Amino acid sequence: MNDNTMHIEKSRSLWNGRSTTFCGLTIPKPEKVWFPSLSGRPTCAACVANGGK
């Protein structure tokens, strides 16, 4: 994963805490998912293409 790219969270599992991003990644530790509104880092293009913003 490119640490400089922010992924957009699509959903989060309530039973295991895993986060799913719009580009299809499953991230066990949701704190590693970045959101465009939080910084000036580039947003994952795949996340945007799949419905993020």
Q: Which of these segments, 10-18, 20-28, 32-40, binds Zn ion (CB under 5 A)?
A: 20-28
Q: Which is nearer to Zn ion, 36 or 46 (CB)?
A: 46
Considering only 9, 19, 23, 34, the residue that binds Zn ion (CB under 5 A) is 23
CB contact set of 40 (below 8 Å; sequence gap of 6+): none
Q: Which is nearer to Zn ion, 14 or 51 (CB)?
A: 51
- Under a CB-based contact definition with an 8 Å cutoff, are residues 25 and 18 in contact? no
Helices and strands: H and E segment counts in the chain: 1, 3
- Considering the rule CB under 5 A, would residue 21 count as an interface residue with Zn ion? yes
